């Protein structure tokens, strides 16, 4: 997962890339948002060169698009693309979960329970920022322990693509209360090593999140 705690040990270019990926996953950027490399450099207190190198890497990965006047934009994805990504996510994240349960029982159950509780509390309070943060940390705390780095990278790339679709929650944070799913049943399934049940709960979590985007982002976009 994107490890901001260890970012200072990386090159400046990698640090910038890491922070931009984190911002995309965390819905800090909206689809179609225009990014200027000079503005990013000033905000991150680095020179323009590592920013441009990092942004070009993200363009190569499909995480950003080139725009006129030396700027870049966050890609807009269609509803069909969003559905396709959701389908792939269910499969890939389900594989990570299966590998975790079968071969690497989680050693951080206390952390997972704490993150799950933080998600529930933030969601119920309409605190979209902390709900998104806790959910992201919870899910990747699981996937990292599958010990499949290539798979983890694929999952991360998909989260980067869909993250901006949830930017509306930062403008309308109360909408997060409509995310009715919790991770209690998923945690119980992991503890009992019930792969099928855990995967079922994971799919439900993805579907509940995606329904928010469908209702409050794609439906709104379609009416514009």
Q: Say which CATH number the domain at 214 has.
A: 1.20.120.530
| 11 and 44, same domain (yes or no) | yes
Domain finish residue from 22, 43, 73 = 73
For residue 172, the model assigns a pLDDT of 86
58 and 118, same domain (yes or no)? no
Rounded-to-integer distance, Cα 173 and Cα 129, Å: 8
103 and 10 assigned to the same domain = no
133 and 48 fall within a common domain: no
Q: Which pLDDT score, from 0 to 100, does residue 3 have?
A: 45
Residue 18 shares a structural domain with residue 94: no
Q: What's phi and psi for 66, nearest 5 deg?
A: -75, 140
Verify that 14 and 42 share a domain, yes or no: yes
Does residue 108 sit in the same domain as residue 214?
yes
| CATH code where residue 45 lies | 1.10.10.10
Q: Please state the domain count of the chain.
A: 2
Give mean pLDDT in consecutive 10-residue pieces for the chain, a chain of 224 residues.
48 92 93 92 92 95 89 93 96 96 83 94 92 93 94 96 93 85 94 95 94 80 55
User: Residue 3 in contact with residue 149, Cβ under 8 Å?
Assistant: no
Query: Under a CB-based contact definition with an 8 Å cutoff, are residues 219 and 195 in contact?
Result: no
Reduced to 3 states, what is the DSSP secondary structure of residue 180? coil
Q: Where is the domain boundary, 73, 104, 134? A: 73
Q: Of 46, 73, 100, which residue constitutes the final position of a domain?
A: 73
Based on the domain organization, do 219 and 108 belong to the same domain? yes
One domain, residues 83 and 147: yes
pLDDT of 221 reads 57
Same domain, 19 and 130: no
Residues 52 and 121 in one domain: no
Least Cα distance to 151 among 98, 201, 81 occurs for: 98
Are residue 103 and residue 179 in the same domain, yes or no? Answer: yes
| Domain enclosing residue 8, as ranges | 4-73
Residue with tokens 């798979």: 151
72 burial via Cβ count (<10 Å: 0-12, 13-18, 19+): buried
Which pLDDT value is given to residue 1?
40
């Amino acid at each position: 997962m994107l490890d901001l705690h260890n970012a200072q040990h990386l090159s400046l270019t990698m640090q910038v890339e890491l922070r931009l990926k984190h911002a995309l996953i965390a819905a800090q950027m909206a689809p179609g948002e225009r990014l200027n490399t000079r503005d990013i450099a000033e905000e991150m207190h680095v020179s323009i060169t590592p920013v441009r190198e990092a942004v070009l890497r993200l363009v190569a990965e499909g995480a950003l698009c080139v725009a006129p006047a030396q700027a870049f934009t966050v890609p807009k994805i269609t509803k069909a693309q969003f559905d396709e990504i959701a389908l792939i996510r269910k499969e890939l994240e389900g594989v990570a979960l299966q590998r975790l349960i079968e071969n690497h029982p989680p050693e951080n159950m206390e952390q997972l329970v704490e993150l799950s509780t933080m998600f529930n509390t933030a969601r119920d309070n309409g605190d979209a920022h902390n709900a998104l943060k806790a959910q992201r940390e919870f899910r990747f705390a699981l996937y990292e322990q599958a010990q499949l780095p290539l798979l983890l990278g694929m999952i991360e790339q998909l989260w980067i693509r869909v993250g901006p679709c949830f930017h509306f929650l930062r403008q309308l944070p109360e909408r997060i209360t409509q995310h009715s799913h919790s991770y209690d049943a998923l945690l119980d399934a992991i503890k009992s090593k019930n792969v099928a049940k855990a995967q079922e709960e994971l799919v439900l979590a993805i579907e509940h999140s995606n329904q928010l985007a469908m209702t409050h982002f794609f439906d709104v976009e379609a009416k514009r």
